[in-house]
Amino acid sequence: MTTAQLTQLLSGIGARNVFAFFLVFARITPLFIVAPAFSSQMLLPTVRTVLALALTFGLAPLAMHGQSIPESVLPVAGLLVENFLVGLGLAYTIACIFGAIQAAGVLADAFGGFSFGATVDPLDGNPGGTLTNLYTMIGLATFLVIGGDAWTVRGLSATFRAVPLTADVAVRPLVGAVETASASLLVGAVEISAPVMLALLITDIALGVMSKVVPQLNVYAVGFTVKVGVTLLIVGVSLPFIGGWLTNALEGSLYGTLQSLKIG
């Protein structure tokens, strides 16, 4: 490309295009701060920045279509905050689904006795037990296998139709969607870890009965090994069902968030 061609190209970029680019970038940024996979620490900050810019370049023409972008700084500053809140609401509701899977691992660790050997989660650096890391890695792999990253990008692009770049954001419906996602986090964790907790409850009852029938048996020595074995068995059997749960939860989360934005 010659200097004259570059100059002609740059001359066609006005303040409207620049402001629109930053508005789209503000809505995309929360994905790389909160959303699963996109915000993983396994992705270098430079890689996340390049991906965010690439998505912005791809979605900017769609977002700008039919919009009257202001060319003064003060109105754009307010729109930056509003677009960031829209992206943050979408990213947070998806993150709550992934948080439910991590919380299920925490519950399985606590009930199964694996929390005694806490390690460090390679995804976000937080300390967690063995099963917490296992659930996290399986959840991330399942999220990518079912196309969760593509669903997230499509959901983000749909927000530009629900709430255009220059439209006012109704905060109350968006906060309601966030509250619903937060409340479903614990429910989802219990749903995922329910087989493990139920199996361990039955195991504890059986060990209690054995301690009464055979007092000579050292239940504390035998019980820990038995609970570990039962935990591993039930986790191995129940993990394949995470895919169906994650698919339904992700679809419901995206639909609920988009509906709350349309209500506004």
Domain extent listing, the chain? 85-263
Identify which of 36-40, 63-67, 117-121 has the greatest average pLDDT.
Answer: 36-40
Identify which of 68-77, 110-119, 156-165, 192-201 has the greatest average pLDDT.
Answer: 192-201
* pLDDT of 193 higher than 80: yes
d(CA 113, CA 231): 9
Q: Which band of pLDDT confidence, cut at 50, 70 and 90, is reported for residue 6? A: very low
* pLDDT of 70 higher than 80: no
pLDDT at position 5 is: 45
pLDDT at position 128 is: 55
Residue that the structure tokens 């692009």 belong to = 157
Q: Which residues, other chains included, contact 89 with Cβ-Cβ below 8 Å and sequence gap of 6+?
A: 174, 177, 178, 257, 260, 261
Give the mean pLDDT of 173-180. Answer: 84
* pLDDT of 242 higher than 80: yes
pLDDT at position 15 is: 65
Find residue 127's DSSP bridge partners. Answer: 120
d(CA 133, CA 138): 8
